Structure 1
Amino acid sequence: MPLETTSPLPQHRRHGSSAGQPLTRRDGVLKVTGRATYAADNHPDGILYAVTAVSSIARGRVTALDVEAAKAHPGVVEVLTPANRPPLAHDPDEKMPPFGFRVEVLQDDTVRYVNQPIAIVIAETLEAATEGAALLNPVYEVEPARTDLESGKRFDPEGIGIGAPARTAHGDIEAGLAAAVRVTEADYVTPPQYHNAMEPHAVVAQWDGDRVTIDMPNQTLALSCASYAAYFGIPAENVLIRSPFLGGGFGSKAILNGPQILAILAARMLNRPVKLALTRAQMYGPVGHRGRTWQKLRLGVDEEGRLTALHHQALCTTSSFDEFLEPAANASLPLYASPAILAEHEGLRLDVGTPGPMRAPGLASGSAALEVAMDEAAEACGMDPLDFRLANYAETEPVTGKPFSSKALRECYAEGAKRFGWSGRPLAPRTMRDENGFLIGWGMGTAVFHCPHFPAEARATLRADGTALMETAGADMGQGAWTALAQIAAEALGLDPDQVELHSGISSLPDGGIAGGSGHTASAGLALHNAGEDAIARLAELATNDPASPLFGAGNIGVVARSGRLHRRDDESRGESYAEILARAGRSDVVGTAKTARDPAVASAHAMYSHGAVFAEVKVDPDLGQIRVARLVGAFAAGRIINPRLVRSQYFGGMIWGASFALHEEAIADRRTGRIMNADLAEYHVPVNADVPSLDAILIPEDDPHVNPIGVKGVGEIGITGTVGAIANAVWHATGVRVRRFPVRVEDLLISREFA
């Protein structure tokens, strides 16, 4: 099939594309053969190894460290403590926007959470550094740990998440509740969850004068360069971050953390390369997590099952010294039509590491509560859960009244229900069993995620041999960005993807924006698209102004870029190859560039979201209360799909994480000490293969002319948001037990009279 391209530029247009094709991942072979180089795989000459010594208490101060014993250990080179830490150019207790958090970099002897860095041991070998850290034998002055609702300090926050208001109101909530025929009110609890990417946080730092090269997994290359430059008092261009591969990020690798800063500082102090990699247990503290929430929902409903009021309150945990509150109540803002909506948040300070963005921040926790509350309201009305959601379908964004840039949620409901067999669902619970006597339940939930667009840059070079080089400093965390971005670039250039070399993952390239918020493909992709368009426009200018070219004089008519050739738009038999144009012009290449950002006028005029619906089947042992997810069917509308193979993979990953949220995942802290008792992958439960059910992801066609010029939305996080509630609702349908605490536990069922 010929590759064709079209363009909004006046002098040329594109036909067709490899975008939309299910190409296999470019990085797949490197990863499965072990040739992909992650941060900790780098071993420059003269490397030293750093190990973080961390606190074992949640609150207090370090009164003594046996530094001499550690330094006397063979192979130990230096021990960094608050007593000898070199100064930093930026105050670590002062935030740096937009993602700046207060960090612990040995600025004093105060301990604010378990696993806080209290020293760094640097040695010739990892073993020596590890043993040296064990010899420090810290002595503490311990204060009582504030670890729960009773001991924590409540406060009214100024903001939540990354710059969102703590309270959003639409209409009169009390009047709406008073006008309701029935009011559903319930409380929900979601647990703390910790980042457990396959690749722990790691850094290899080496200095050359006042320049530093950093190998690390990183989701925000340009922003991080600026932040590290501020900490070390050097120009941002003197910081080079190399991050070609990330073994999962989920938001945590967009944020600077103390251990990484200390490793870079140690490398400068000792004038040798230093490597530091956190252990699995050490990731439960300094690198962010999803904070616990306590949520209350009040839903007022009229005689026809339509909402009269939707009140969502969330009490969210943060650290004692910084603020990141899970914007959970905001999950109620974009989905359901109601004349009155109120989302409000309160904070709770605990002696924990500061939470941070974790896959689908706010919407994961908030939709878990909202979707169960919607099911409870449907039950109170005697309505099918899907019919109830359709009765409250929002044609415009409920709070702002803005039209959606696109919204195919009705189609998601219809196709998902059809594929799942929802029409055969009995309304009453405990009415279905399988051949083994297990209780069967069916539940559903609505999925939603916003569509951010981050400023990004790219460079496109068309070369004399007819191939191209595309460059942008983006990140591939496993989502397949290298492949999807190459497809977008190839489309813009009228080339086959195999003819496009993509360079990414290093900060010296044009800023590819933020790899997060499900916005990376749209942001970096648009920059690549526009850079490719610019390169083709420059090539077309060479040809149409050259009397020797068959395209001479076609500037006003326009040209078509296809399969490495430009053709006259009015006569496609007249054309020539890119190589021929460049050769005649005596050029080795032609370069196009682009800087892109969302048009503020478009952003203010439209509400931009991806939508979906998830349907779940669970089976519950009637004697033991054990729960297994048997089937998950998700239908999602997310604008233009660049690579359906990769998109399905992302939807599957999101639904699996939703199952983890619903049934498995929770960090359990000792209330006396604040220590996370299950800080490993043996006892911090995540799904394994045996827990993953039959998965089906339906890609609903959707054209969005407003979200960005390439029509791309995000798919990485939306799969969580409908799945958690769908599974919880299916558990109720199987057992008659309404569980409002996550993860759903066997004991929650066994102690219920409804289950017995």
Structure 2
Amino acid sequence: MTLELDLTRDPAHLRHGSNIGQPLARRDGVLKVTGRARYAADNHPRGMLFAVLAVASVARGRVASLDIEAAKAHPGVVEVMTSANRPPLADDPDGKPNPFAFRFEALQNDRVRYAGQPIAVVIGETLEAATEGASLLSPRYETEPARIGLDGNEAYIPPVVGMGFPAESRHGDVDAALAGSAKTIEAIYETPPHYHNAMEPHAIVAEWQGDRLVIDTPTQGLVMMQARLAGLFGIPPENILIRSPYLGGGFGGKGLMAGPQVLGILAAKLVGRPVKLVVRREQLYGPFGHRSPTRQTLRLGASAEGRLSAIHHHARIVTSSFEDFYESAAHVTHTLYAAPAIATTYDAVRADTGTPLFVRAPGIAPGSIALESAIDEMAEACGIDPLAFRVQNYAEVEPTTGKPFSSKALRECYTQGAERFGWWDRPLKPRMMRDKDGFLVGWGMGTATFHALMFAGQARAVIRRDGSGVVESGAHDMGQGAWTAFAQIAADSLGLDLDQVTFKAGSSDLPDAGIAGGSAHTATVGTAIHNAGAAVIGKLAELATADRRSPLFGAGNAGVVARAGRLLRRDDESRGESYGEILARAGLSEIEASGSGLPDQAANEHYAMHSHGAVFAEVKVDPDLGQVRVSRMIGAFAAGRIINPKMVRSQLIGGMIWGVSLALHEEAITDRRSGRIMNANLGEYHVPVNADIPAIEAFTVEEVDPHVNPLGIKGVGEIGITGSAGAVANAVWHATGIRVRRFPVRIGDLVGHG
């Protein structure tokens, strides 16, 4: 199923001029609220069976036995798939054909590497039968002691961190600079494991049609998944169709293919019928990645006047026993504050958990709460207001590379955010403000940043004789409104009104849109759409300007502009003709062209490319109970050209709420004996609910970036979380005078100090 967006509901006053920059509502919104949007698990091919995972209850060892006969004897159970009868794969699930191909479990043996690992798949005529069959397997294990947490194993230096950063980076002599500093601080900050909890769980509906495979599954990387499956099953990529028009949230958790998706496909192959496998909420805590816990040590030095002289940011992170993914928590320190000496170092431990992978703002989210807390601590040591301290140490160029920023409106974010918040009324000392009910009031701030990325993507644009346009790209929308933004770019690129353009997305048989991650999707696909539109307009202009019957004859490409479905001479806009007239005279029903979005390597080498922002938070703390409430937040962000202000504001607010979660709520708790996550559900895995959400305001500061990409777009999906968690943590200190360095902030950290 390919998504075709209906663009006919836009107000008439928005249909003229540029569509980019208009605050349009999401084009898929009506379909979602009326229940007509079809997600992966909503598909039911004829003859479909249901598959249910059985997962390990221990973290390390091997499966000694399963009562397969009991499960198969249950009415409605069709088959039980284990490592003994699983269909073969052409590639090893533990192989690494590319850096994004992470190892996963597909019943390749009887080893257990973490609690929650799939150990069998039960297939039934009904979901109930398969579920009951899975409960009858009664697995027995040969167990080994679980290695859990930041101290659960011997530490070592990882080969790289993130996606290829060095584990040690030094700029200047940090130790000497610290020794010569008038003011120094050293503090350790810890963040816990965080797990994705998207509204839509992972699911797959798989059907084999001979040697052709048709899949419905939520994914942030259609063609990447298609290529990985082609290698695993030994079939050409074009024999695999993946449909993913709607995702109920992704945030990195659906960026890469995971073992349960492959198990659903294998189950369909084993039984020769279509199979649906939907992962239960508690089973999401393992095979699909998570954010690593961190222990971060920061050492800062400054002059007596409050000028930073050195920053050393060390991070310990956790990875799995069988894979190498290391959260790049310290790397935010390379980009934010001017210091002549900066070092980032790492060590890591292997634990018996699923592999940590990408979670919204990977590395920077946990790294920024530590850095922003440390910056506040240094400002306090120097007796300087936290905002004034940050402005005093403002980086005019990227500190560790010396590169100029492609654009940087962070000063404006500081200024405008502080004005709206009323920051300059803040007393310097903590515990100086109370509200009318006696609650302690604190104000904190944090600097937000996220790198402005762009990947490779493609699009195809078509202009039809009836004057309509079609733009296609295998793009993804996790709910952030990408389809609407892409439609706006498409309409402008074709010189058409929105109601004349159909945008198609969400299927692997469309042009490769790359991966929707790293806040890069709009820049990547938007640039491809823009270039495809320019290319097809160029072809149309060639037809007209070479045709003696056209009023545009002889104008040349440079002398033609596309507007409202017509080509016009730039030097005389009274002379022109419609797209339909040009195509009709040429005897064509339509004309098409392709375009690519590719990062500019020369610009990347010359400029440091980042989005920036400033977040201000107010908290109220009960002095007797230690309960913390965030009462208001204001975020000011500079993110280049804004395609749709309404959806950008939504993304920024969503990120800020996640920052509140990081600071005050979110934590996966692991039983160190069994390795099981004890709160693997939405009742006990605490995330903010409506009652926790303060009055939040997010706005953008005007910023023009001529270097980042042709449209000047920077991402907004992840920057909101960075800075926000630190702002809340710093506000807690300002309210209470208690510096909490282990997150989330707990009542026990604050009680008894009132």
Q: TM-score range by the shorter chain?
A: over 0.9
Q: Determine the C-alpha separation between the residues in 2 that align with 1:2 and 1:149.
A: 58
Letter in 1 for 2:155: R
The one-letter amino acid paired with 1:340 is: A
- What is the match of residue 347 of structure 2? 346
Shift of 1:258: 1.0
2:558 and 2:747 map into 1 onto residues whose CA distance is 70
Q: Quick one: distance in 2 between partners of 1:527 and 1:254?
A: 20
2:87 and 2:269 in contact (8 A); partners too: no
- How far is the alpha carbon of 1:596 from its aligned partner? 2.5
Task: Quote the residue 2:7 is aligned against.
Answer: none
Indicate conservation of the 8 Å contact 1:3/1:18, yes or no: no
Name the CA distance, whole Å, in 2 between partners of 1:387 and 1:4.
Answer: 42
Asked whether the 8 Å contact 1:57–1:111 carries over to 2, the reply is yes
Q: Deviations over 1:491-543 (max 9, x none)?
A: 11111122110000100000011100000000000000000000111111111
8 A contact 1:2–1:562 mirrored in 2? no
* Alignment-derived partner of residue 330 in structure 1: 331
Q: Counterpart in 2 of 1:513? A: 514
- CA RMSD, aligned part only? 1.3
CA contact (8 A) 1:4 1:563 kept: no
Q: Contact between 1:3 and 1:496, CA under 8 Å: does it hold in 2?
A: no
Is the counterpart of residue 496 in structure 1 residue 476 in structure 2?
A: no
Deviation at 1:557, TM superposition (A): 5.1
1:286 aligns with 2:287: yes
Deviations 1:549-603 (A, max 9, x none): 1111111651111111111000001111111111121111110111231121111
Identity %: 65
Q: Distance in 1 between matches of 2:472 and 2:67?
A: 50
Distance apart, 1:4 and its partner CA? 12
- Displacement of 1:353 in angstroms is 0.6
CA contact (8 A) 2:151 2:349 kept: no
* Residue aligning to 1:626: 627
Q: State the match for 2:201 in structure 1.
A: 200
Q: Distance in 1 between matches of 2:21 and 2:168?
A: 40
Q: Which amino acid aligns with 1:250?
A: F
Corresponding residue for residue 11 of structure 1:
none
For 1:60, the aligned partner's letter is G
- Secondary structure in structure 2 of the residue aligned to 1:646: helix
Partners of 2:86 and 2:270 within 8 A in 1: no
1:339 partner letter: P
Residue identity opposite 1:262 in structure 2: L
SS of structure 2 residue aligned to 1:149: coil
Per-residue CA deviation, residues 179-232 of structure 1 (Å, 9 max, x unaligned), is: 211111100000101010000000001111111011000001111100011110
Question: Is 2:448 the counterpart of 1:421?
Answer: no
What residue identity is the alignment partner of 1:333? Answer: H
Give the gaps of 5 or more residues in structure 2: 1-10
Question: Is contact 2:150-2:293 (8 Å) kept?
Answer: no
Partners in 2 of 1:697 and 1:167 — Cα distance? 36
Distance 1:282 1:749 in 2: 34
Alpha-carbon distance in 2 for matches of 1:561, 1:634: 38
TM-score normalised by structure 1 residue count:
0.97
2:493 alignment partner AA? A
Letter in 1 for 2:568: H
In the alignment, is the contact (CA less than 8 A) between 2:67 and 2:138 conserved in 1? yes
The one-letter amino acid of 1:666's match is E
Mapped partners of 2:475, 2:317: distance in 1: 32
Once residues 558 and 62 of structure 2 are traced to their aligned partners in structure 1, the CA distance between those partners, rounded to angstroms, is: 74
User: Secondary structure of the equivalent of 1:718?
Assistant: coil
- Give the superposition deviation at 1:310: 0.5
Deviates more, 1:307-316 or 1:491-500: 491-500
Of stretches 150-159 and 521-530 in structure 1, the one that deviates more from structure 2 is 150-159
Hey, what does 1:105 align to over in structure 2?
A: 106
State the 1:150 CA deviation. 3.5
1:557–1:568 contact (8 Å) kept in structure 2: no
Which residue identity lines up with residue 349 of structure 2 in the other structure? Answer: L
SS in 2 for 1:574: strand
Distance 2:514 2:174 in 1: 39
What secondary structure sits across from 1:737 in the alignment? coil
- Please, which moves more after superposition, 142-151 or 640-649? 142-151
Mapped pair 1:661 → 2:662: yes
Alignment of 1:318-397 (within 5 A): 318-397=319-398
What is the match of residue 581 of structure 1?
582
Aligned to 1:37: 38
Letter in 2 for 1:711: G
| 2:256 maps to 1:270 | no
SS of residue matched to 2:723: helix
Q: Give the whole-Å Cα distance in 2 for the aligned partners of 1:209 and 1:388.
A: 66
The aligned runs of 1:551-570 (5 Å cut-off) are: 551-555=552-556, 558-570=559-571
The Cα of 1:96 is off from its aligned counterpart by 3.2
Q: Paired residue for 2:91?
A: 90
For residues 319-368 of structure 1, the C-alpha deviation after alignment (integer angstroms, 9 at most, x for no partner) is 11112111001111110111111111111111111110000000000001
Instruction: Name 1:260's counterpart in structure 2.
Output: 261
Unaligned runs of 5+ in 1: 6-14
Indicate the residue corresponding to 2:645 in structure 1. 644
- What corresponds to 1:121 in structure 2? 122
Cα distance between partner residues in 1 of 2:597 and 2:519? 17
Report if aligned partners of 1:461, 1:470 keep a CA contact under 8 Å in 2: yes
494-503 or 307-316, which deviates more:
494-503
Once the two structures are TM-superposed, the CA of residue 3 in structure 1 deviates from its matched residue by 10
Name the residue aligned to 1:241.
242
- With normalisation by structure 2, the TM-score equals 0.97
Residue 545 (structure 2) pairs with residue 544 (structure 1): yes
Alignment-mate amino acid for residue 210 of structure 2: G
